[in-house]
Amino acid sequence: MFRLLPNYLDYCDAFERAAQNAVRSAELLADLACSADLVTSELVTAIIQAEHDGDELARETFARLARSNFSPADRGDVYDLVSRIDDVVDDIDAVGRRMIFYKVARSEDEFVRQCAVLVKASRLASDAVMCIRHIEDRKSAKLAMSVDQLVIVTHHAEEEGDAIHHRVLTQLFDGRLDAFDVIKWKELYELVERAIDRCDDVACVAYRIVAKNASK
């Protein structure tokens, strides 16, 4: 049976570089959330650079994809995976920039926790992307977890982020904060929550690619 499997494997380096860039972005944001000097933190510069790096990786991959012989459906899978990884980095970049715009002097404890969940979700999503390299053996002994398991645990991380977000919304509107602080923190939490959701999406697309092409 004719298969396009070798083409997917040809893209593994690009997939994994993009996913690792997303992990690095999440780790930088988590470090920023714990920083004692958020307003002038060099970590924001590093986050912005990671976003530029992610954009360049996406452009290179899309240019290569345009010259490939993928079927439309499989081309869509590659585009979806790279785009969703790039979305994670874009959301993290938006958080870092807004923390500067809003002159955030210190993070809330729950924000630190939510950023830690984002790091966990990004690492799990990156592991799911790595499963594509082992696409012919979904339960490879080389991997700590199969892509099937990684989708489940990434979704659990997404649910953990949801729980923090919902808890924070209750706190934001309890009347203790002024209107500007409510608007500021509501947006920051929503952006981190969206980045966590994107990680869940990345894992799901990686699963779809593996499930469609794995040996029976």
Domain count, the chain: 1
Give the E-state strand segments of 124-178 in sequence order: none
Determine the straight-line distance between the first and last CA of the chain, rounded to whole angstroms. Answer: 13
pLDDT at 143: 61
Q: Report the alpha-carbon distance of residue 126 to residue 172 in Å, rounded.
A: 32
175 band by pLDDT with thresholds 50, 70 and 90: low
The string of pLDDT tens digits covering residues 39-58 is 567 899 999 999 999 999 99
Give pTM, 2 decimals: 0.90
Could you tell me the CATH number of the domain that includes residue 17?
Answer: 1.20.58.220
The string of pLDDT tens digits covering residues 108-140 is 899 999 999 999 999 999 999 999 988 766 555
Indicate whether 197 pLDDT > 90.
yes
Nearest partner of 205 among 141, 162, 161, 154, judged by Cα: 154
The CA–CA distances, whole Å, from 92 to 56, 65, 146, 175, 204 equal 16, 26, 27, 28, 20
pLDDT at 128: 96
The boundaries of the domain holding residue 120 are 5-213
